[in-house]
Amino acid sequence: MEGQVKVKGLRQLHRALKNVDDGTKRQLEAELRAAGEIVAAGARSRFVGIDARSAAGFKSRVKGFGRVVVEQSRRRTTGTRGDFGSLQMRRALLPSVTENETRVLLAVEGMLDRLGRKEGF
């Protein structure tokens, strides 16, 4: 599927992290959120000319273990434009993922390397 970055071995990492302290888990989530913020910032800059209020609503969130999403945090205002969500995807979110894929991968790799060194994986 377009717009996704998958990490092989994530389940094994999750099992290994069950023994890690809460501080490390919070740090992992913060770094994942920061990696998602790269895409969110790109999406905001692409969409600000179309709708600045909506562009400001793109946020990076960690959902579950190891899954970061960039989503629209603002609620729908009128509902008169049924294609507005797909417009945001086509014009801002998907192009931002494509444009920033390398930066996101490097951020996640760096995070996993730091975590591995710290925890002795």
CA distance 11 to 67: 12
Report the percent of the chain where pLDDT is more than 70: 83
Q: What is the DSSP string of 39-108?
A: HHHHHHHHHTTT-HHHHTTEEEEE-SSS-EEEEE-SPPS----TTHHHHHIIIIIHHHHHHHHHHHHHHH
3-class secondary structure, 15: helix
- The whole model's pTM is what? 0.78
Q: Tell me which range, 52-56, 61-65, 84-88, is most confidently predicted by mean pLDDT.
A: 52-56
* Residues 75-113: tens digit of each pLDDT: 777 667 778 888 899 999 999 999 999 999 899 889 888
